[in-house]
Amino acid sequence: MSLNYEQLRATIMGRMLTFDGIDQSRIDYQNPLVRFEPPADGLWCRLSIETARPITQGLCEPMARIPGNIIIQCFDRAISQTPTVGLVRLADALAGHFQYWETTGLMCREAQLVNVGQSGEYTQANTVVYFITG
């Protein structure tokens, strides 16, 4: 079964909603109906889905498989260019939550921690998980 883009978004968001490594009120789901305000202190995250050009698979019954990345930006208010221990632990927990997770029509693969460093008042580290539909 191949997911369409809305089904893909809903499936990934559903998985993120089961993550208990941070309070759900500290996760920005980029919902245009509800404006997210970063907390005054502590850790928080932003979930994004980045798709790539679909790949055609099959000859008799062609199917488009959509590859991409789940990007979870993790932030901590800090004055250092290096991630805090809490930030690294959160990124590790997110990697463990998504890495090699599979459900109908979606296969997550390896996760990567990307140290973004400091931007303004936040230190940022991203958890990036490669996926493919199909």
Q: Taking the domains of the chain in order of start, what are their residue ranges?
A: 5-133
**Residue 80 — very low, low, confident or very high, per pLDDT cuts 50/70/90?**
low
pLDDT over 90 at 32, yes or no: no
Higher per-residue confidence, 80 vs 70: 70
pLDDT value of residue 81? 64
Question: pTM here?
Answer: 0.90
**Residue 58 — very low, low, confident or very high, per pLDDT cuts 50/70/90?**
confident
Mean pLDDT of the chain: 91
Q: Which fold has domain 5-133?
A: STM4215-like (3.30.2000)
pLDDT value of residue 5? 93
**Residue 77 — very low, low, confident or very high, per pLDDT cuts 50/70/90?**
confident
The pLDDT tens digits of the residues spanning 89-121 come to 999 999 999 999 999 999 999 999 998 888 788
**Residue 79 — very low, low, confident or very high, per pLDDT cuts 50/70/90?**
low
* Sheet of strand 27-28: strand arrangement: 27-28, 43-51, 67-77, 122-133, 106-119, 102-103
